[in-house]
Amino acid sequence: MRLIHCIPVVLASCCGVRAVDEQNGFGEQIIFDDDVAFNERAGNVKQVAIVGAGAGGASTAYHLSQYATAANIPINISIFERNSYVGGRTTTVNAWDDPTKPVELGGSIFVKVNKILNYAVETFNLSTRQESSAGVPGAALAVWDGQEFVFVQEGNYGWWDTAKLLWKYGTAPIRTMRLMRTVVGKFLEMYDAPVFPFESLTEVAHDLGLLAVTAATGEQYLAENDITGAFVKDIISASTRVNYATNVRYIHGLEAMVCMAAEDAHAVHGGNWQMFDRMIEASNAKLYLDNAVTGIHPPAESGSLTVDTQSTDSDDPIHGGTFDEVVIATPLQFANLRGDFDIDEIPYVQLHVTLLTSPHLLSPAFFNLSSEKPVPKIILTVLPSDEEPKDGPDGVGSPGFFSISLLDPAVNPETNGQEYIYKIFSSEPPNSKFLSGMLGFQQPEGDSDDDISEKDISWMFRKLWDSYPYEFPRVTFEKIKLGDGLWYTSGMDSFISTMETNALMGKNVARLIVDEWVGKRQASLQL
């Protein structure tokens, strides 16, 4: 049973980055002036610690190993992950706790041309899936404003080809697509020399002309490009809400454009986390799960950093120690790390993700439809036209949720009955009143999940994520190099927060580190 799915297939993917140069994957040729004899003389194995085994940390490890090998520098990578699993914000849980039915709980989709992820799929022989809930009645996707559907797309075909879209919104969709392609084209320059590797996100954004895009809100940036009106309100805002829990009035222009780059959305069969798991495996890094890094101390005289770790398992020996380089691949504000890092705390979205299984289809009455009318399978939301958009957690507004998706039909392994797997994104946990309304069953007496009959909801999983920043407009981004031997990938989160971009930042840091080693080696050889 293929169960991973996510949010809107056609509209809501993230980071539809189209590769400019397809043949140049991530193992591009690096020509280093290497000197094997040097390493032998020094007996110098570079010790690297990575904090976090998500997209950023896994990509750092993989690319460090590739670049160091190419430069003939012996390397020993240790990855510390406080969770018991690899993937971080990209992870699955199993419907009915059945391991054959994994469902994405975090990062769900990417596009075929996301260079690093797609290359990982190929290199590690993973398979992908695209289709959703085919065969289940109802339109593929719709936008609900809390009172009515302002847009309905019947079929599962490409978003931009929809004649209806053009008929309803005139040339705005085409102009938005053109603008998106220009912006994404600039972003893609970050993958290749001379822009790659970049030492500062702020500078690279400036050099590529992207600061003007991040400085404006999505709404402002679109208006500057003569895109206003119903298309922005109905469609672009639905997309920024499902992807980043933010109305288009408050999210920055770059992230709004990324939300519209949705061609060829897909996911790894069995779970996207496998890409990161395979990267770590291929890097030969030592992976310490259930090991939190609790502190990083400034360079001792030797020039190395001390890393303190704590395992959840008291029998597990301490794996921390001293390292030449430490890469922090997680948002520092949630890392619970002692140290002086000079990274600003920024507001992150607290997103409630609810996965559940039920034999019921969505209730037409809940969506003000007549009882014989099937409800669309993916429901995005926008605010009604008379409602002022707010920012922060109040941004969800009167519709009360960001999205409801019927992901897949599936057979309940206990009853053998036909059921459906749903995913809800909201800023409050959906209560039994909401759930019974949404699925059209009798509201239970009590408020607790246990009061809901298994006949109505047979399995439910609730997760509160610090999912991504609120992505407010900004013109400076966090540093990449925090000090000697100390690196940070998660500044990427407030620029573009996706699996691909965090993997790109990991690759970038890997290249900066190895370039620095090579530079030092050359300098020392010239002495």
Ligand X SMILES: *[C@@H]1O[C@H](CO)[C@@H](O)[C@H](O)[C@H]1NC(C)=O
Ligand Y SMILES: Cc1cc2nc3c(=O)[nH]c(=O)nc-3n(C[C@H](O)[C@H](O)[C@H](O)COP(=O)(O)OP(=O)(O)OC[C@H]3O[C@@H](n4cnc5c(N)ncnc54)[C@H](O)[C@@H]3O)c2cc1C
Q: Are strands 418-426 and 348-358 parallel, antiparallel or unpaired?
A: antiparallel
- Answer with the entry of ligand X, ligand Y, none that 182 interacts with (C-beta below 5 to 8 A by kind): none
| Residue reference for tokens 């790390």 | 337
Give the chain's end-to-end CA distance (angstroms, integer). 63
CB 341 to ligand X: min, Å:
22
Closer of 15 and 285 to ligand Y (Cβ)? 15
Segment 186 to 245, residues that bind ligand Y, using CB under 6 A: none
Estimate the share of the chain in helix, then strand, then coil, as percent rounded to the nearest 5: 35, 20, 45
Buried/exposed code over 110-131 (b: 16+ C-beta within 10 A; e: otherwise)? bbbbbbbbbbbbebeebebeee
CB 51 to ligand Y: min, Å:
5
Residue of 176, 467, 494, 508 interacting with ligand Y (CB under 6 A): 467
Is 109 one of the binding residues for ligand Y (CB under 6 A)? yes
Segment 474 to 493, residues that bind ligand Y, using CB under 6 A: 490
CB 293 to ligand X: min, Å:
12
Stretch that binds ligand Y, among 79-87, 134-142, 216-224, 316-324 (CB under 6 A): 79-87
Is 63 one of the binding residues for ligand Y (CB under 6 A)? no
The rounded distance, in Å, linking the Cα atoms of 177 and 287 is 42
The rounded distance, in Å, linking the Cα atoms of 468 and 494 is 8
Closer of 365 and 525 to ligand X (Cβ)? 365
Closer of 404 and 480 to ligand X (Cβ)? 404
CB 252 to ligand Y: min, Å:
16
CB 376 to ligand X: min, Å:
16
The rounded distance, in Å, linking the Cα atoms of 39 and 48 is 17
The rounded distance, in Å, linking the Cα atoms of 176 and 483 is 41
Is 351 one of the binding residues for ligand Y (CB under 6 A)? yes
The rounded distance, in Å, linking the Cα atoms of 337 and 362 is 44
- Answer with the entry of ligand Y, ligand X, none that 76 interacts with (C-beta below 5 to 8 A by kind): ligand X
Residue 179: phi and psi, rounded to 5, are -60, -45
Closer of 129 and 319 to ligand X (Cβ)? 319
The rounded distance, in Å, linking the Cα atoms of 503 and 524 is 32
The rounded distance, in Å, linking the Cα atoms of 366 and 6 is 22
CB 158 to ligand X: min, Å:
27
Closer of 1 and 45 to ligand X (Cβ)? 45
- Answer with the entry of ligand X, ligand Y, none that 358 interacts with (C-beta below 5 to 8 A by kind): none
Helix axes 273-283, 55-70, angle to 10 degrees: 30
Report the residue number whose CB is nearest to ligand X: 78
Three-state secondary structure of 331-346 = CHHHCCCECCCCCCCC
- Answer with the entry of ligand X, ligand Y, none that 183 interacts with (C-beta below 5 to 8 A by kind): none
Q: What Rg, from alpha-carbon coordinates, does the chain have?
A: 24
Tally Cβ neighbours within 10 Å of residue 47.
Answer: 18
Is 430 one of the binding residues for ligand Y (CB under 6 A)? no
CB 481 to ligand X: min, Å:
23
For ligand X, the binding residues (CB under 6 A) are 45, 76, 78, 125, 127, 147, 286, 319, 368
Residue of 62, 67, 96, 110 interacting with ligand Y (CB under 6 A): 110
CB 87 to ligand Y: min, Å:
7
Question: Omega of the bond prior to 413 within 30 degrees of 0, cis?
Answer: no
- Answer with the entry of ligand X, ligand Y, none that 368 interacts with (C-beta below 5 to 8 A by kind): ligand X
Residue of 259, 497, 509, 510 interacting with ligand Y (CB under 6 A): 497
Is 57 one of the binding residues for ligand Y (CB under 6 A)? yes
CB 155 to ligand X: min, Å:
24
> What are the CA-CA distances from residue 276 to residues 80, 130, 151, 500, 507 (Å)?
14, 20, 36, 11, 13
Closer of 107 and 218 to ligand Y (Cβ)? 107
The rounded distance, in Å, linking the Cα atoms of 90 and 147 is 33
Residues that bind ligand Y (CB under 6 A): 6, 14-15, 51-57, 80-83, 88-90, 106-110, 292-293, 329-330, 335-337, 351, 353, 465, 467-468, 490, 497-500, 502
